[in-house]
Amino acid sequence: MGLRSIGHATGRAAHTALQPVQRALFSRPVAVPGYHLATQAALAWGRLLGGEVRREGELHVVSGLPTWAFGRGGTTVGATFLTHANVSADVLAHEEVHRQQWLRYGLAFIPMYYAAGIDALTNRYEIEAGLELGGYLPKQRAPRPRRKPTAS
């Protein structure tokens, strides 16, 4: 048995051993309280820094924050989106997907997100939320209809 085979066997064994733990972490009774805790902590952070809080559907949007108070153009923690002024409809649609990810994974979303990498273009959670909506890629424009040639 080669080194590569041993590595694959070890990886499979670890994956199998961790499945019950993963199922427990992602179960609603564990994930949802973590989601609510993260939401309240982010709201407290935003209010402490003097942010303006409003609701957009299920998302609490805290704007007017100093740019050092969050990552990139804004950060969703639980159901709270922290930003300075990045509140376009597209960005809020992107952040709504992150809210749903938080709801699905609870506090486990923190290490999962960072394990997926800090490059938004390859981070599976940013891709799921929509790179164009989040402003990571330019919007794709619909092709212009071709003009019919005119007879001269």
pLDDT score for 24:
62
pLDDT given at position 147: 74
> What pLDDT digit, counting tens, does each position of 106-146 carry?
999 999 999 999 999 999 999 999 999 999 999 887 777 77
pLDDT at 63: 99
Give the per-residue pLDDT at 54.
Answer: 98
**What's the pLDDT at 140?**
80
Task: Give the SS3 label for residue 25.
Answer: helix
* Residue boundaries of the structural domains of the chain: 24-129
**% of the chain residues with pLDDT over 70:** 80
Q: Which pLDDT belongs to residue 10?
A: 62
**pTM of the predicted model, to two decimals?**
0.78
Low-confidence ranges of the chain (pLDDT < 50): none
> H helices of 79-152, where?
89-105, 109-115, 124-129
